[in-house]
């Protein structure tokens, strides 16, 4: 069975308003072991944070800071959701 996972332009409209679009990817996709503190600070100021996090969770984004959470934090959030629904 094929599931269409195509994301429409309307679903990505939040990206144009996100603060990360104005700062570039370096803060949000740092080298391994680098700090994500600055990315999280920018995310806290961004009105698109919840849409960004929802996108990352829905699309299983595994790298970078999305919606103010690191890869490990999103992974923990996914595990919490799975354990609550079990």
pLDDT in tens, 34-79: 999 999 999 999 999 999 999 999 999 999 999 999 999 999 998 9
Is the C-alpha dihedral spanning 48, 9, 77, 61 positive or negative? negative
- What residues are designated binding site for [4Fe-4S] cluster? 20, 43, 46, 52
Token readout for 3 is 């599931």
Which DSSP symbol is given to 82?
A: H
Q: Which of 5-14, 31-40, 72-81 has the lowest mean pLDDT?
A: 5-14
Count of C-beta atoms within a 10 Å radius of residue 73? 16
Q: How far apart are CA 46 and CA 65, in angstroms?
A: 13
Residue 7 has pLDDT above 70, yes or no: no
pLDDT at residue number 10: 66
pTM of the model: 0.81
- What residues are designated binding site? 20, 43, 46, 52
């Amino acid at each position: 069975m094929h599931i269409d996972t195509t994301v429409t332009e309307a679903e990505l409209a939040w990206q144009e308003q996100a603060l990360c679009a104005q700062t570039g990817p370096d803060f949000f996709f740092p080298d391994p072991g680098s700090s994500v503190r600055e990315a999280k600070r920018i995310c806290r100021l961004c009105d698109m944070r919840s849409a960004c996090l929802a996108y990352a969770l829905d699309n299983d984004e595994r790298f970078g800071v999305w919606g103010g959470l690191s890869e490990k934090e999103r992974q923990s959030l996914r595990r919490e959701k799975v354990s609550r629904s079990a």
